[in-house]
Structure 1
């Protein structure tokens, strides 16, 4: 399940791409499939091991261009272990909302991006997130949970202060907003039948991609999309 548009980010073969806070690699995989040389960075050794397993499986299945490289790296977004101007593209998806010092993380992202390079940052959108916080403290008040709710304009200003130009915005995963509202309403850790049923619907939608739900989500994304995506450029 991808949150950002790789065509809008213009990810091409041979580029050096950094996936910050990659988790188990869902955004790494598409970049790698397109032939980018991907560095996947995360604090979790376990998640990076999963990422390594799946990229290896992609290689064995012949899903990646010959010569394409990938490397998992344990690291902190606030102090990236890379020289200035190392990457053509940088992705930071659903990670800044977990970091107290998000300004340092955005500055580091801008530092390692090459002049003229492009970046995409995604965070939970203000309205769906505000509803989740209102319904449940368990949703965010836990170790490693969300520490803030972003307005897109505030995040764009933070990026501008780091030297990144905000070029466009999109929204994604409206159907997932409903899932989280249900989950927060009945209890985040409660195994409720209505939540299980809606989760089965989401899995079916992700796997089958039926036209009806794709059209529905596309129409709802501008209104209740769970994530907001900022596309950015570093001055040449």
Structure 2
């Protein structure tokens, strides 16, 4: 279940991709299936990194596999040289960071000129509803390592463009997941113990495993209307040539 559409990254054999805040590696695994593309996943959570690495061995091997590595690291101090990567994925991470502009600066530093940056964040209105349904102390927005802000997509887009990127496009994702989170927030005190939440979770797992045409059609309709996430695609502009002195 990928949020970023990897075909929009323009990847070629030999390219290097960073998945910043990779979690259990879903986007790393998707990129690793691309022939000859190398991917590095970076996260602060060691158990997630171990699961991500184990997941690589469950994938069908590509004909010409690239490298796939996982590192523990900090978004504010990326352990890579300037211009290392041809693409950077940062999916559902920025909303967790107290100083997200510092992370954006680091991403720009390690991305090559002409490289593609693909951030995703929770879409504003479904996220706002979650905050309202489970407010206050111990609520949806008051969890350790949880979401600390709601991004307005136009504002975030302009902010990234001002850093020296050209906007390529955007789309919404996970329309069928928004009702699940609204149910969780509406019955926050019971969480996954509520029968409606259990039933909807079984539906999502079935959809993920079976990928039936019916739910693919429902997702295609639901994502633009109530997709839980918005994914952006930007190209890093080349430095402006200095004029004659």
TM (norm. structure 1) is: 0.94
Aligned position for 1:113: 111
Equivalence map 1:21-60=2 (5 Å): 21-35=21-35, 36-58=37-59
How far did 1:41 drift? 0.3
SS at match of 1:83: coil
Name segments (4+ residues, structure 1) moved above 4 Å.
Answer: none
Aligned counterparts of 2:122 and 2:101: Cα–Cα separation in 1: 17
Aligned position for 1:229: 231
- After superposition, the C-alpha distances for 1:132-188 in whole angstroms (9 at most, x for unaligned) are 000013222111000000111111122123222221010000110010001100116
Aligned counterparts of 2:155 and 2:113: Cα–Cα separation in 1: 23
The answer to which of 10-19 and 93-102 deviates more is 10-19
SS at match of 1:71: strand
Aligned counterparts of 1:2 and 1:57: Cα–Cα separation in 2: 17
Answer yes or no: is 1:179 the counterpart of 2:180.
yes
- After superposition, the C-alpha distances for 1:70-96 in whole angstroms (9 at most, x for unaligned) are 111111111111111100011000010
| Aligned positions, number | 233
Structure 1 or 2, whichever has the larger Rg, is 2
TM (norm. structure 2) is: 0.91
Does structure 2 conserve the Cα–Cα contact (< 8 Å) formed by 1:93 and 1:123? yes
Unaligned regions of 5+ residues in structure 2, if any? Answer: 239-245
Aligned counterparts of 1:51 and 1:5: Cα–Cα separation in 2: 19
SS at match of 2:177: helix
Does structure 2 conserve the Cα–Cα contact (< 8 Å) formed by 1:169 and 1:228? yes
Aligned counterparts of 2:123 and 2:134: Cα–Cα separation in 1: 17
Does structure 2 conserve the Cα–Cα contact (< 8 Å) formed by 1:17 and 1:39? yes
Aligned position for 1:98: 96
Change (3 A) 1:134 1:13: same
Change (3 A) 1:67 1:213: closer
Does structure 1 conserve the Cα–Cα contact (< 8 Å) formed by 2:171 and 2:232? yes
Change (3 A) 1:152 1:188: farther
Does structure 2 conserve the Cα–Cα contact (< 8 Å) formed by 1:103 and 1:158? no
SS at match of 2:116: strand
SS at match of 1:4: coil
Aligned position for 2:153: 152
Aligned position for 2:243: none
Aligned counterparts of 1:14 and 1:113: Cα–Cα separation in 2: 15
Change (3 A) 1:54 1:170: same
How far did 1:67 drift? 5.0
Equivalence map 1:181-200=2 (5 Å): 181-187=182-188, 189-190=190-191, 191-200=193-202
